[in-house]
Structure 1
Amino acid sequence: MQNLGYYNGKYDLIENMMIPMTDRVHWFGDGVYDATCARNYQIMELKAHIDRFFNSAKALNINLGFDKEYLADLLQELVHKLDEGDLFVYWQVTRGGNGFRSHSYDSEVKANLWITITPEKVTKIDKKFKLTMMEDKRYQYCNIKTLNLIPSVLAAQFAKEKNCDETVFHRGNIVTECAHSNIHILKDGKLITHPADEYILPGIARANLIKVCHALNIEVEERPFTLEELFAADEIIVSSSGDLCNSAYELDGKAIGGKDEKTLSKIQKYIADKWLKD
């Protein structure tokens, strides 16, 4: 198959799949999701992504109706139905209880499981990002991967229209994350990253970046950092499931980073050797 769509046990090409109008996603975006990439049919960091997915569902009181092992086995089974092995693997649940529109719900009804799998390659580690920024006006549930992504959609479009790769969010003077990535800085040989609180998504690539730094004896500070620190950083790193550790060279027309390529290259080589080798 060139791509795959799945809904509650049925699967086909995505363009052939139909979702009931009574699914609560249409009215409320009532659900959570997670996503990662597969290389050579092997899903990257699957356990960590599934753990985060279950945490998101629990935070919204969604009755999944299946366990982690079932989901892992299903995803691994479905990726092997694709014609090629470098893939974007996405899954979500929407709250069960299909029916006419009602804000309240029956917490005993099992969720609806969606999966889509499409060809996609992980971004090359040496690609450098051009950034822009905007005020972070999102609510304080950024740590939950809900389906309500309008602020991120607007921020991604903002970047696209400015011919940039990502939009950096900030709350006042504090940098939080990007439209669909985490952001970190290197300064004086240390990695500085916003703490995993309600203002950012606890990215799996972010967690791996921290582990890599520990393995390389690079000090890590999990603390908020400012816009001034961002502009003055030795290097700026953007990370996500598809962009594992990419540096940035420009932010709103100003040159940034490029002052500690030795440390950056050490981190990127470790990540490339572990996750990106054929």
Structure 2
Amino acid sequence: MKTLGYYNGRYGELDEMMIPMNDRVCWFGDGVYDAGPSRNYKIFALDEHIDRFFNSAGLLDIKMPVTKAELKEILQEMVNKMDTGNLFVYYQVTRGSGIRNHAFTEGAGNLWIMLKPAEISDGTQPIRLITLEDTRFLHCNIKTLNLIPSCVATEKAKQAGCQEAVFYRPGGRVTECAHSNVHIIKDGKLVTAPTDNLILPGIARAHLIRMCKKLEIPVSETPYTLEDLFAAEEVIVTSSSNLCLYANEIDGKPVGGKNPELLEKLRKALLDEFYEATK
């Protein structure tokens, strides 16, 4: 199959799938999601993604309709049905179905899955960024379906000829990007925002931190500012779809390019890890 969808046990090509109007996602965006890449029919870092998925659901008191083991089995079965093993593997759970009512529905949630062909970027080409004030709510650590601010920011980045938008809070604290985490190299060490309620604890972020420690590159999980961002030796953007990208321009101003050896060491190590795990 070229694409594949799943809804509570029903399978089909994405353009054939139908969702009941009373699913709470239609009324409230009431749900959480997670996603990651597959290569050669092997889903990368699946346990880490599923752990975060279940944690997001738990933080919103959404009852999962399957166990972690059952979800892993469903996802792998679906990957195996595809024409290619290089995929974007997406899954979400909504709170359930019922006549529109702000109060929670009872019972287990609805499980959605979507697969489509996709390739991981090798990170060799620079990207351009813009900065935008972070007007999202204060639960950014939960991977919810409420993504309107991120969609608006992504469109503004696109209109500016950029690939991502970097969010900042009052006072200039950098949080994350519209759909990525952002980090800097400063004085030869990795500086990344702490995993508080203002950022999503990215899986690729965790792999970046672990790789830095493996390569004996110091890591500081501390808040940093726009001033730090523009003055950084390198600016790194990570996500499950793009494991290690780097920026050379923000708001039309050149950035980074001051520690290319360290950047290349990290990029290569992270891609090698991915290729090894999915060979």
TM interval, shorter chain, is over 0.9
- SS of equivalent to 2:55: helix
Given the alignment of the two structures, is residue 184 of structure 1 paired with residue 183 of structure 2, yes or no?
Answer: yes
Q: 1:106 to 1:26 in 2, by over 3 A?
A: closer
How big is the alpha-carbon RMSD for the aligned residues of Structure 1 and Structure 2?
0.9
| CA distance in structure 2 between the aligned counterparts of 1:273 and 1:53, rounded to whole angstroms | 25
Counterpart check, 1:4 vs 2:41: no
Q: Deviations over 1:149-204 (max 9, x none)?
A: 00000000010000100000000210000000000000111000000010000000
* Structure 2 partner of 1:75: 75
The 3-state SS of whatever aligns with 2:108 is coil
1:10 & 1:65 partners in 2: Cα distance?
14
In structure 2, the residue matched to 1:136 is 134
Q: How many residues align?
A: 276
- 1:119 corresponds to: 117
Normalising by structure 2, report the TM-score: 0.97
Alignment of 1:61-100 (within 5 A): 61-96=61-96, 98-100=97-99
Q: Determine the structure 1 residue equivalent to 2:59.
A: 59
Task: Give ranges in structure 1 of 5+ residues lacking alignment.
Answer: none
Tell me the distance in 1 between the aligned counterparts of 2:225 and 2:100: 43
1-structure distance, mates of 2:264, 2:159: 30
Distance in structure 2 (CA, Å) of the matches to 1:65 and 1:276 = 32
Structure 1 distance, partners of 2:105, 2:228, is 47
SS of the aligned residue for 2:162 comes to coil
Other-structure match for 2:104: 105
Distance apart, 1:273 and its partner CA = 1.3
Match of 2:207 in 1: 208
Q: CA deviation at 1:105?
A: 2.1
Q: Which amino acid aligns with 2:44?
A: M
SS across alignment from 2:88: strand
Tell me how far 1:65 sits from its aligned partner.
Answer: 2.6
Distance 1:106 1:153 in 2: 27
**Percent identity of paired positions between Structure 1 and Structure 2:** 54
SS at match of 1:154: helix
CA contact (8 A) 2:65 2:111 kept: no
> 1:211-269: CA deviations, max 9, x gaps?
00000000000000011110000000000001101110000110000000111111111
State how 1:161-240 maps to structure 2 within 5 Å.
Answer: 161-172=159-170, 173-240=172-239
8 Å CA contact retained: 2:122, 2:271:
no
| Structure 2: 5+ residue stretches without partners | none
Matched, 1:275 2:274: yes
Separation in 1 of the partners of 2:131 and 2:275? 29
